[in-house]
Structure formats: C-alpha cells, structure tokens
Structure 1
Amino acid sequence: MINGRFHLLPQAEKRQGGMSEVRKAVDVLSPEGAYAAVKLLKRRDDEESTRIFLDRETASLRALTHPNIVRMLDSGWDEGLDQYFIVLEWVDRSLKDEMSGGRPLDWPAYFARIGRPLASALAYAHEQRVEHRDIKPGNVLLTSDGTIKLADFGIAKVVETAAAPATDHTVADYGSSLYKPLEKSSVGWVRDVYAYAVLAIQVLSNSKARDYPGLLSALDELEMDTDVRAILKSCIDLEPQKRPANAIVLEHQLLEAERRCGNRDARQRNSVWLKMTKSAAEKLVTVPEGEELSLDQVMARAKSEVTSDISSTVHVDYGWNPVAKEVDTETVRVFGRKLFLRIVGDHSNSDRYVIVSAEERPEEWLAKRRESALKLDPILNWTFYDPGEDPANRGVNVLLASLDKHVEAREEKGREDRRQNLGDLFDGWRHVLEAREEIAANGRQARRLRQDGGHLVHAVLPPGRHRNGGGDGRRVVGRGIPLQSAHRPGCRHRSDRGHRPAPHDSCQDGAAAPRLPAAFPRPQPERHQPAARRAVHGRRPAEQQPSSGQDHRESAGDAGPASSRGHLLGPR
C-alpha cells in the first residue's frame, strides 16, 4: 500500500523505464475503485539525480492542467518501499504499442487523432514555461476512447526554477537518442519542437528512420501537403534558430496549414460557375485611348480581373430590396479586394450565376459593407469554365446555405437588440411611475429625474430639497406634487422663496428647456399665490402675461412640443 491509499496489484505487468518502474494500483479512496499508475523511482548511486527527477516531474505536473496531459494524483517518499513515488492516472496503452502492431497513418488522420492534441498539450506547457524534453512514442499515452495524454515529465525543465547548469546536463542526458537534436546548445523550447517532428515522421513512415539522414529521407517519401512537409522539415533543421521558436508557434503554423489545405480540398469539390454580361464587362474594363479591343478581348480581360480579385477570402451577402424593405435572396452581392459584384441565377443553367454588375469601389465603401456581410474563406472555386455538374451544384449549395445561416443569425441579433431596447424603455417608465407613487405619498422623499446616456433615471433627493426652495436655483411647481424640474447646467433662474421659476426658454446660455413626457401629469398652477408675485422671465412683457393656466404651462417648461421631449427619453 502506497501512502495508505494506493494498493499495488502484484499480478499486474510492470513497465520499466530508464529512471523508474511503473506499477498498476487501485485507488482505495476512489468511490469507483479507479486504477492508478504508481511510478517508483529507481535507487541510484547518484541520489541527487533521483531527487531532481522527482522534483521536476511533480513541479511540472502541478503547473499543468490540460485535457491532453496526464494528471498527477500524489507524490512523495514511501517508508515501506524506501523509494520516491509519483502517482498518475492510469492509461492502458501508449503510442509505442500502437506503432508496433498498427498500420501507418496518413497526415490528415494522424493530425486529427494525435498531432493536433499533442501540439495543443505542448503549446500549453510552453505557455506555462515548462519544457518537456523527452517527447517519444512511449510518453504519448492513449486512453480507451482514443484521447492523447502526454506523460513523463521527469526530465522536464521549469524555466523559472531550473537547476544549475551542471546538474541540468546530468538530468538532460537521459533523453531518447533519436528524438534528441544533434546540437549541444541549450536553446530553449526547440528541443520539444524537434522531437514533435521526429515523432510525426516515425508514426507516418512506420518507424522507418534510424538516424538523422534517415529522417530526411523518410520525410521526403511521405505523401502529404507541401505546406505540412515544409513545417516538419523546418522543425528538424540542424540550426536551432531556423526551427519554430516554440510549440505555440508550431501549433499555429500547423493549424494554418490545415486550414489552407482544407480550403484547397473544398475548392476542388465546390465550384461557383460564373457567366458575365456584356454590359458588366464593358463597365469594368477601361480601353486605353487609341487601342481597339474586340468583345472577346474585353470579356477575357474582365473575367481575368474578376477571378483574380475574388480568388482568396471574400465577403458575400444577399441583395436588398429597398421598395419592399426586405432581403432579396435572388441576388448575391460579392465584395472582393477591390471589386463589387452583383450576381443572379442563370435561367438557362440552374447551377450557374450571372454577373450583371461589376465595378471597382473605394476601400472605405467596401469596408463598410463587409461589416454586415458574411466572411467566406477560400472554400469555393469561382470559375468561368464549366466545372461539372456535381462540383457546380455543391458550390451553389454551400454558398446559399452559408448565406441563409448568416442572415438568420443577423436577424436574430436584431430581434434581440430590439427586445433589449424595449426592456430598457419599460424599465425607465417603471422608475418614473415608482417615483410618482413615492412623491404622491407626501411623506416620502422625492426623486429627481435626469437623463443618463439615453436612459431615464431617478435619484432620491435629501429631505427639505424637494419643495419650492432648492437652494441651488432649481424650483418645483405643482399642487401636492413636489416634482423637481430639470435644467441644464449654467442656466440661472430666480430662486427667491415664493417666486415661481422662469421658463427655461429664458436661460442666458440660450439652451432650450427640457420637457416632461406627454404621459406625465401636468402640474396645476398654484392658485394661492398672487399673480403679481409670479416671475416674468418669459418672452412676453408683464402686461402681456397669459392667464394662470397658460402661464403655468410656459413657466413649468414641461408641456412643450414633441421635439423637446427627447431630452428625457434619450437622443431623438
């Protein structure tokens, strides 16, 4: 029993390694009785190396949490066995077992099953400043469901806590020979990059290479995309500086190569068959003065310019019917590098599109349209030659399915935005109604309404500030409704107690007065005040002041035209 938790199975096969022996055990504390791998470090005369192996693997595994890196369960010193131990999750098979009895894979299958998850695990380790330094088939484990698990960080190097150079070389010498680069320099990270490429070549060639020259020969004989071959060849370059700097860079390069390769395969399978009208070609091609071109020459130049412009990534969208104010699915707009194309279905061939308009547009104009259009990677082969019935049909289906999905997502986003805006509006009016209720209670604090970024908000006013005297030049009018009027900073009004405020039209800065929404109850005039004491800041002379009802509406400044209501409801 290891550490009172892991029961070693005496009949289970023992796995021997250079620095350790791996035993299968049962985790007695696990509810399901899960298996565990107990790694017992071998006793050596150089006890310092054993301790470094233990410290490095445990430090590395504690720093790493990744679905493709083996998980550590426990570690320490076992008094009964008088040995250091590390306990890991149990995985039955390794890539070495698969290579001995299986058939070689091609690159797409290898990258999907092994190469991609292994590159992800290595990139994550390098990002955490951990260098594995012993990538080989025996350290790449395969779970029962085929998941890759990178294991054995015994000679890993944690960059921030690396040992002194002498001790470091002592541990590093245990690396597997074929998977170690030939140079003796200590360039960081590229050792793992080198080993990753060697592993891929060996799996793909069924372990054909025995030395470095054999690696180059095996790589040249493999059938794979030229981009992938170039990346693997750079990984095993004799000059470390010419390799990808680390696994993060390597993973990015491999994923980009896969994307380009996938696009090329898709382009071979899916084609958009095009035709161009005479008017579109003549509008696109400018004939130099003094030069005469036949119609065939104009068409050839126009077709060449179009295919060159849309051969890489393009943006596409359905047309728009401004009369019906709806999407026009009969028209497809294509935004290339410089050209704007409008294409429609060909009535004579259902799998062909006709370019009815082609013109060069400014980059600013194209960029604005691209914002709402669908970005389409080069997965379609745009061609003026008949690609065959199947590729043409697949190309049309891919184009239309992608556009339908894009338009549906865009419309759903628009509906969600409208629901959100409506909810904000309802919230604003709910706050207004709550404020009215509290104000009408006559014993509660009033609330001040103000505009904040297009939303109607309110705030509780301190006691004594919500009646006629505000002390800051702001007044409230109305019978039994202590509503504080809103005004712009800088407006100066008379604030003498007992005087009604002047309308905001008379602000010295000339700012228009904000108005309350129409749904808000208009305050009634305070009839108990003598008319002579009302403020006369308005536009009319004192002798032309209106009657009490009209006077109140103007001085309150809240029931003006609809054009003024936007101040409280938000920008018009």
Structure 2
Amino acid sequence: MDCGSVGEDVPVTAKPVVDGYAILDGSPATGRTARVYKAVSLTDGAMVAIKVLTASVEQSEFLEEAFRRETQSLTELRHPSIVAMRGSGVTSTGDRYLVLDWMESDLVRWKTAQRGFEWGEFWQTIGRPLVSAVAHAHSRNIGHRDLAPRNILFSPDGRLVVADFGIAKIRRFMRTDMTLRQFVSPPFSPPEADDGAATLGRDVYSLAAIFCWCASPSSLETYGSVEAFADGSDAFPPAVRAVLLQALSRDPDERPRLAEELLDRLEAGTASTAARAGGLSCLLAIGHVQMSRICRDFELSDRAATESAILDDLGSVCAIEPKLGPDGEQGTAFGDLVLYGLTRTYHVRPDDTHRDRLTILSVIQRPSGWLEARRENSVTPRVDFRFLPRGREPDQRSLLQIQQIIDDFVHERAEDEANAENRLLDTWSRILQARQELELGRERPIRYHSHAVEGRRVVFRTVGTIPDGAVLEKRQVKLHDGTFLTGHIEDIDGQEATFLVATGDVGQLRGAGEISVNVYAASEALRKQQRALDAFRQREVARAHMADVFWTRGLRYRARRRSPYGGSSRNWMRTSRRRWRPHSARRTS
C-alpha cells in the first residue's frame, strides 16, 4: 500500500487510535511522508489502510500542505481507478491521517512478476484504466504531478488504482506560497522545471514514461534511457510508439495537453493495430429507412460518408453488451446487442435471413463519461467492423465467435453474482472477529496483592500501573468458589483502588488476584452471533429453505441494481447459446 515513497516495513511501537477501525498486528509500511497501517473497519468489515502523516519524517509545514492537497483531491475525485478515501482526521497525538481502501500490491511488484510484455493485454488491464483515471482528474482541473510505479496500486481483486495525491496541483484552491515541486520522481516526472504553466501536461509525460518502464525488461533510471527505449524498442505497435514519443518530447508544447487527448490517440493506435493484426471481423448493414435517420444524426448527406463516420467511431473504441428491454428482459428472440463507440451507442440485431451480419437499427449520441462507464462494464473484443460489400458470400463464423465471447463474459458475470453470498458472509464474519478481538483487548486486568473490606466497599492494594479510565468502569474479581464479585472502581488513591460491590460474597475474596473488565456478556453475544452465522452458511437452521429464498431474492435484487445485464443475464445466455452456437458446440456443452 502506497504511503508516499514507501520503504521497508519497520517496527513501530505505538499504533494510532482511529475511531471505527481496528489496527491489525504487523509493522506498518513506512516512507518519507507517512506510515501506513493495515486495519479493518468495524462498520462493514472492509480492509482499509490508515495513512498517518508523521512530523518526524518531514517538516510539519510540508505535511500540512500535503494533507490538505490529498484530502481535497480525493474528496473531488470519484473514479474506479482512483483510490477511494473513506475519511480523514487527526489522531490523539496530533498526527494527521487518511483512511483509504486497502491495496494489496503496486506496479513495481507487477513488473517483477512479469515474464513478457504484450501491448494489447497491457493496454486493456493497466494502460487504459490508468490513463482514464488521470483523464478524470484532469477533467476536474487536478494534476497528480508525481505519477510513478510506486503510486500505481492494485486492489486484492486485481483492480488498478492511482494513489498518493499529496503533491497534486489543484488550481482553484491551493496556496500559491507553498510549492511541493521538489518531491517528484525522475525519470517519470518531466525533465523541465515545474513552473506551474503546464501542470496537467506533465502527467502526460509521466504516463508515457511509465508505459516504457513497464515494457522494458530492465530498469529505466534516466531520461535518456526512457527516450532511447521508446524510440528503438519493438514492444509497442508503430502507431502507439508514435504517440508515446510525442508525449515524451522535451518540448512541453509538443505533448498532448491533457490525459484525455492521450487516451483518444492511444485508443485509435491500438484499434488500428488490432484491425491490421487480423482480429475478428464483423459485417454491418443499414436498411434504407434507418439510413436516412442515421445520416441526419451524423449531419451527413450520403451513405458512404455516414458509413465511414460509423467505422471511425467504432474503430477508435468499442464495447458490446446484450440489449435489455424496459422490463429488464432481452428485447427480441434474436439477441439484440448494444455497441458502445467513442461518441455514440448503436442498437444492432443479427440479420434474420443471412445470420452473417449485424443490422444497425438506431444510433444515439451520448456523453463521453456515460459511454466510458458503460464500456467499463461490458466486453471489449477486438473487432474490425466493415460494411457489407456487394456480392460477398455469407459467412457466419465471425458472428458466432463474437457471440461466444459475449457468452463467456456474461457467464463469468453470472458466476460472480452467484458468489455474492459467500463474500457477504465472509465480510460479516470479519466484523464479528474484529469486535471479539476488540473486546478481549479491553480486559486490562489490575493485579492486587491484598485487600481490606469496608462494608459494601473493598480497598484493593494493587501491583503495577492502574490503567487510565479505570474509575467507574464495570469490573469483576474471581472468588474462591469460582463466582465473581462485580461492581466498579469508585476511587483511586496511589496504589489503592476502592471497589464498590454490586453483587458477590466479599468473604470469598482471595488474598491476591486480578480486577478485570467484565466483557463476558459482550463476548458471549458475539460468539453466539458467530455460531448463528456458521449455521446459516451451512443451512443448519430450523427452516433451511427460507435461507435459500432469502439469498435467491437478495441476489436477484443486487443483480438488477449492479449488473449491466439486470436480472436476466442467465436467461440471455441460455437463449443466445441455443440459437447462435453451432451444433458441435451444443453437443459438447
């Protein structure tokens, strides 16, 4: 988990106290600006990172500004590839902290584990999410300014996120008398000085440098080595390499100004490369009635120009998903689809007669942010779309291959939904375990070596330090007969603690023993909840069928809210497989 130049784990004696979170055992990751502790939320059981900025590792003035910039940035930014901030504040010792989603690894470890580099796979899993996150920040006028492999992290489920906005430039809010420009990371930060004139463009350079570093089998440590690799390596397709070389230009004016511009150019270069590499090919067709309407949408007058505009839109970037009707069910028996292009959505349907092409029924222009969100939740196969040339023989193979890809994608999503029960039960179990550990940690027994009974009070002569806050705390003392003397500490005078008795026989007091916090009731309640949870998981309850009804209805409701396929993904998968898959595939499935 990033903490701003994270170094080796080092032991730290005192853990911070943050309300609502239990700090787990283990040394924190420590860097020059912060320590990061692994913790669990007592509210929802989620694993989190407590990032504590410590004045002992940097000047307090720097920490104050870094804390202000990071909290301001993460408050504004909401993106699946930007680390989420759950909260922030100041500990009882005066250290500032942030509560972030827990991240399991970073790009440095990713590179160490790699045994090769393939641009297409890299772009889908790392490149596009990374540039998309930075483009989102730029759309809010926020520049990261310190993009580097150590600040690019991976969640436990493999999702990439950008972190460490501690030196981010927020033009609308930040102080002009405080600069954090010296806290940058060559060769990922541009070589020129940051005078504030082109802050957002600096991130574009960093992205290109990170891509070269990821593709290189060796570590690139100088600006010259990054530029030489980009110019001479065959790791990138020619169209992509040309974009990266422009982004790495020593002249800031020659670089793309924003990450969104870089994203568009890399998408186009990657798409053209995939088409030339012999990816899937899919034929498109438009009826005469639909063509006139679509021409008006594109503000064009003839068929050829409109078809060219559609191919350009789908060739830049395209994602596919089944089209659902108003009731959440599949629109027709033929398996209608939605294509998400760069600027528009396309409602398409397999041709009724030939089954070798997709007929475009309608085209709708959409906002870029909406389209990006839909593409992230859809399947993105490499497809070279073409309009039907005259006299071409029908060929159903490409359409069947595309259908199989979509089938597999929907099947994986359905399996994820089926596992939702176990994920929820595991979360519940973690919450109970964390609370049990918290209760056990509250015991803090006070040892005594002698006592004197004074009516309903007992004066215990203690050994060692009496914990702070012990006065009025409900405690108990074990007696000779195995029962307990209950009550609370009424007063503390040096090493003497006056105990006001609520229940129990003072005549059964031992000569020496312990005055412990009474956590039995809370611990027993938590143990009962854990046993009930285990029984529910195994369906060992009085009415097991009711548990099945509960989970079935709950998962259907979650699927309709969270899945882009609504509640009908399995139904769509069944109908599409029955009608589109070849006979050989059906016999073997």
**TM-score grouping bracket, smaller chain normalisation:** 0.3 to 0.5
Larger radius of gyration: 1
| Higher RCO, Cα 8 Å, sep 6+ | 2
